[in-house]
Structure 1
Amino acid sequence: MTTISNDIFLPIKDELLVLDTNLKKMIGAKNPILYAAANHLFYAGGKRIRPAIVLLIAQATTKSAKIHPEHHRLAEITEIIHTASLVHDDIVDECETRRGVNTVHYKFSTKVAVLAGDFLFAQSSWYLANLNNLQVVKTISKVITDFAEGEVRQGLSTFDTNISIDDYTEKSFYKTASLIAASCKGASILSYTKDNMQKNFYLYGYHLGLAFQIIDDILDIIGSQKSLGKPAGSDLKNGNLTSPLFFALEEKPELYKFINREFQNKGDTEKAIAIIKITKGIEKARDLALEHVQAALQALENNQKSISINTLKLISCYIINRLN
């Protein structure tokens, strides 16, 4: 799997270093176990794509490309919300590893992980309120509702072959694209841009987020535990039907038998993955992701050319290149 080059983030290199320092200060839980649990994923690292996008939009939309303190705080809030969602995701999906390290619930306990995730959401809400910008608060707080909606929908539709590709797209929005889209718009709001520019940055984040989720779903089929940071085939085992499987079902209806028995027989997951790989399912899913990447790039077209805008375009291209 292609990892994102640090060179791409050169325009905000110093800002990202400050972000890492501030994240650890912001969680500030008084209980040592809660602090250790919340801090666990921050130490595990991550690509920091979401806060990087916030900082780049700030550079692209302010005079003299100046990133204001409010932009920095929004970038930090975005990463905290994302991390909180991962803690809860791992509990629901029963994952033992994330980013190559033990998940919070596996390292500590499910109870501690739930509390740590809730704590991070609460911290993000507190810092969000202190931005003193009602429009941004409304935009970002909706994301936490979307996360819950996405998890409920996913939980109610496991192993359900009646859901459509539109249902899949909507779930992907709730789980991934909502945060990216909202944070893009939020960064633009903090720069006091016009409504049409705020809308375009929202669309950039919306399509980028959907593309990111689709590529994640492809990697769950073709990736390795080393490249994914978690076991391959996790979505199939958990009954989360994704775009590569939907497209593969059109060619190989025998896949239905694995889904209907919930991959319970020994070797079911491996057999299903082998079948998906010989169909056009992965290719069609990649094409769908590419459509969203192109839409994301289109949303940036009306912006004045700058290093920041060019970097946002490079991030869009990176999404697809994760498969290489």
Structure 2
Amino acid sequence: MHAIRLHAFGPAENLTYERTDDPEPAPGQVRITIAAAGVHLLDTALRGGMTGSFPVPCLPTIPGREVAGTVTALGRGTDPAWLGRRVVTHLGTAPGGYAELAVADAGRLHLVPDGLGAAEAVAMIGTGRTTLGIRQFTDLGPDSVAVVLAAAGGIGTLLVQSGKNAGATVIGLAGGPAKVAHVTADGADLAVDYTLPDWPCRVRTHLDALGRDATVVYDSVGGDIARAATDLLGRGGRHIAFGWSGTGLRGGGPFTLTDAELAARGLTSQNVLGPAMTERAGGLRPLETAALTEAASGRLRPAVQRYPLAEAATAHRALENRGTIGKVVLIP
């Protein structure tokens, strides 16, 4: 098969497209002929050797943990009903997704709902489940005003849609005219370019016209942008943090509110990734199932930006440089 392999940690150019042996499914596993593979910002960190809480991959490795396709081979003892089925799965900590073939534990598989494309299914198995996990922490309704940072990203796109589905007023922040246009088309009540210095004034003017303050900020960016966004929160507002993708931006990096600030303004702030999310949901699988159901029903519509498998390095560079909209997916 063809696959993307990483032989040494480093820049995107270290991702090479080459031939390698076909993987063989072990007992209880299936082999999937891949139709779409997800690219995550975490993949770019792992490629550079920055693993955080994740195990360091043994080199050479085939990156990627989200795949959709058709089951074309079974390991010993695997239920034969899986053969020929369209499936999607998150591979967990074991990589192998940037390829034409991958093996996965049968217990991790989900059937792809009828009418849902492979790329969209890949978006929902990772990005979709995280979005629903984040939404567990906020009960939005017509009285809510939600500010979504990085609103043109994979999670941001779904948070905008989810907020509008709940009847909330949604303000989406994104970087650049193309992304702002995407957020507007996605249904946000206001979309602003957070690379422009006057964006907080524009949002405040909009809120003043409504006679409202923001009630929740969904923050995956951090830094000065998160600071300015949380300044828009009224008393009792909530700051929901789930990343700091703005590290490379001026004034970027992780953002936290001090206990004194929280008390003085009556705010709450919570980082919702990790155990807090999975414990509340009863595990990741219920979130995956719910995300696929939401996409199949049309209530959530993931945005997908596709790249050929051979151009994985290009996809990584675009993602790192904030040049993508929605979920990045590789197509073998």
- TM-score normalized with structure 1 length: 0.24
**Structure showing the higher strand proportion among its residues:** 2
- TM-score normalized with structure 2 length: 0.23
**Structure showing the higher helix proportion among its residues:** 1
